[in-house]
Amino acid sequence: MAKRSAPEVNAGSMADIAFLLLIFFLVTTTIPKDSGITRKLPPIEENDQDVVIKEKNIFTVLLNGKDQLLVEDELMEIDDLRQAAVKFLDNGGDGTCTYCRGAKDPKSSDNPDKAIISLKNDRQTSYAAYITVQNELVAAYNELRNRRALEIGSKKGFPDMDFIAMEKAYDDVKFSGNRAKLKEVIEQIKIEIPQKLSEVE
Amino acid sequence: MSKFKSKKDNSLPAVNTASLPDIVFMLLFFFMVVTVMREDNLLIENRLPQADQVEKLDKKYPISYIYAGKPAKGYEKFGTEARLQLNDKLAEISEIQAFINAERAALREELIPKLTVSLKVDKEANMGIVGDIKQELRKASAFRINYTTATGDAKSNLD
């Protein structure tokens, strides 16, 4: 008598099982997309000694409870804030800043290292307006950093990369260029144009 | 003659579905890999404002989430003012320090200073609650924060 082969397992329901699992994961999936504006809070200091900062080095931005913007004691539209902040940071009043292209107005900031943007808000200010203002101020810093990155990047072997592209490339694991050198350039730009944004409580 | 006649009828053969499980499994594995189980069940409204100067939140380092917004539909009994949500329940401002300490306790020691707090605040909330949260975070020495936003035109927030 011929040897009977074992009957094949019916795999017809395999697809059903897999579909069931698939649908479960489809429903529970949230593709992570978190991004935002990163800030560092100042530590609470016990002995707050008053540091003397010249009035001209402070750029005051006030956002009141009705979401109106007051920049350097004048009403301003949100669309003009970025340009005003760039103008202030880029002023280079004392001439030590070789990469500034501002008006060198002696009444405005000395150099980007000394320039401080002070942001004040009211308890009634809406969060949306606050984020918009933060966004514009970060954009002003990024605009200057991008410009500086294009200037020194071409000399250091990273042509046509602005600051954002540099940071992205540095974080990218597939980046093939000289990572240590790129880090150096990024750090240099961060030192030359530091983000000095202070928030008043 | 009939010997050479095809035994089968001449209708179209059925499509072979043997590879269907393979295809489905492939999809399944893709979704299994990219899945992040929803961590918190939101009790509040949480529509994030938009911004375009954003940085990606680095998953290499630990992230704690603090939500704020007015109570969502079905939770009106908690009022209409913006509230704070930690983990799965509404909380008071004073609970933030304990929350941060609990989050830290779950971390390896070298990661503790790297803890970033992601603030997911509804765009209709006002800055009062955000200021309070920030003050509490300073007291808890959690200085790295991220205003988590959606990506888009920032000026559309004001419409």
Q: What is the crossing angle of helices A78-89 and A127-156, to 10°? A: 40
Asked if pLDDT for residue B1 goes beyond 60, the answer is no
Interval A115-128 mean pLDDT: 89
Predicted TM-score of the model (pTM) = 0.78
Is B36:A32 a contact under the CB 8 Å cutoff?
yes
Which pLDDT value is given to residue A48? 64
Q: B157, A129: Cβ pair inside 8 Å?
A: yes
pLDDT per position as a tens digit, A33-59: 678 888 888 888 766 667 778 888 888
Q: What is the mean pLDDT of chain A?
A: 84
CA distance A40 to chain B (A): 5
Interval A155-174 mean pLDDT: 83
Which pLDDT value is given to residue A201? 65
Nearest CA in chain B to A29: B35
CA distance B128 to chain A (A): 4
Higher pLDDT, residue B123 or B8: B123
Nearest to B149 among A31, A37, A40 (CB): A37
Asked if pLDDT for residue B40 goes beyond 80, the answer is no
Which pLDDT value is given to residue B15? 79
Nearest to A22 among B24, B58, B135 (CB): B24
Q: How far apart are CA B91 and CA B65, in angstroms?
A: 13
Residue A31: Cβ within 10 Å count: 8
Q: What is the mean pLDDT of chain B?
A: 83
Higher pLDDT, residue A89 or A28: A89
Q: A36, B126: Cβ pair inside 8 Å?
A: no
CA distance B66 to chain A (A): 13
Nearest to B124 among A15, A126, A132 (CB): A126
pLDDT per position as a tens digit, B140-158: 988 889 999 888 888 887 7
A131 contact residues in B (CB cutoff 8 A): 49-51, 123, 147, 149, 154, 157
A136 contact residues in B (CB cutoff 8 A): 154
Asked if pLDDT for residue B2 goes beyond 70, the answer is no
Interval A67-87 mean pLDDT: 89
Asked if pLDDT for residue B17 goes beyond 80, the answer is no
Q: How far apart are CA A133 and CA A119, in angstroms?
A: 9
pLDDT per position as a tens digit, B48-94: 888 888 888 877 788 888 999 888 888 878 888 888 888 878 888 89
Q: Taking Cα atoms as reference points, which of B83, B49, B128 lies closest to residue A128?
A: B49
Is A64:A122 a contact under the CB 8 Å cutoff?
yes
